[in-house]
Structures are given as C-alpha cells and as structure tokens.
Structure 1
C-alpha cells in the first residue's frame, strides 16, 4: 500500500488551490480584455461612403467603410 500520502502535496489541496487560482486569474484577465475591447469599439465610429453604389453581391464592405476619428 502507498503509505506516502500528503494532503498538502501538489496532488492535494495545494494543487486544487493553484488550479482554481489560475482559472480565476484567466477569467479576470479575459473579462478585463473583453471590457476594453468593447469600450474601444463603442467609441470607434465609422461612416459609409457612396452608400448608393454598394452592390448586394460582389461589393466588399471594407471599400465603403471609413473610420471617423
């Protein structure tokens, strides 16, 4: 039998706390990144040039979008 058991080893509580802390840190980092991206895109306005000449098929949208900064 394995008599070399330790509750504070990497496989025990310590490992669980490290994994939980790492997952929470990743969650916080991605949440902050998402909020920053949303704030950036919310303040980045654009305008359409030649809106009447946009074709339904065969027209690239990037040719008609102009950033207003």
Structure 2
C-alpha cells in the first residue's frame, strides 16, 4: 500500500492541530470570563445569618436563616 496523498498542511496535519488548539484556548477563555463575571456578581451581594444560634447541623431549614445584606 502506497501512501501518495500525504499533506502536512491538511486538516489532519499542522492546520488541524492549530485549529484544535485555538478552539480549546478560546473555550478556556470564554469559560474563564463567565466564571469571573459570576464570581464578581456573588462577591457584590454578601449574605448574613439572621440567628446563628438557631442553626442546626445538617438541617434543610438552615437555608432560611440567611438574608442578602444590603
């Protein structure tokens, strides 16, 4: 079997590798951007516990004890 259609710059060569690298780096950049935006949005809205003495270990009602501080 003779391999006569080799192409270094084909999609299965250097070009394909560069396209995959750019695609992965752009996905990383977009996810980092949205992650930072979400983190900044949460950091601007801290919450406080209304009654720390009323908290019980492993209790679903603990979620009702927090309020967003303004």
What band does the TM-score fall into relative to the shorter chain? Answer: 0.7 to 0.9
User: Within the alignment, does 1:63 sit opposite 2:70 as a pair?
Assistant: no
User: TM-score when scaled to structure 1?
Assistant: 0.83
C-alpha separation between the residues in 2 aligned to 1:57 and 1:24?
41
User: TM-score when scaled to structure 2?
Assistant: 0.82
1:11-26 matches, cutoff 5 A: 11-26=12-27
Q: Which runs of 5+ in 2 are unaligned?
A: none
Q: How much is the aligned-residue C-alpha RMSD, in angstroms? A: 1.6
C-alpha separation between the residues in 1 aligned to 2:18 and 2:36?
27
The number of aligned residues is 69
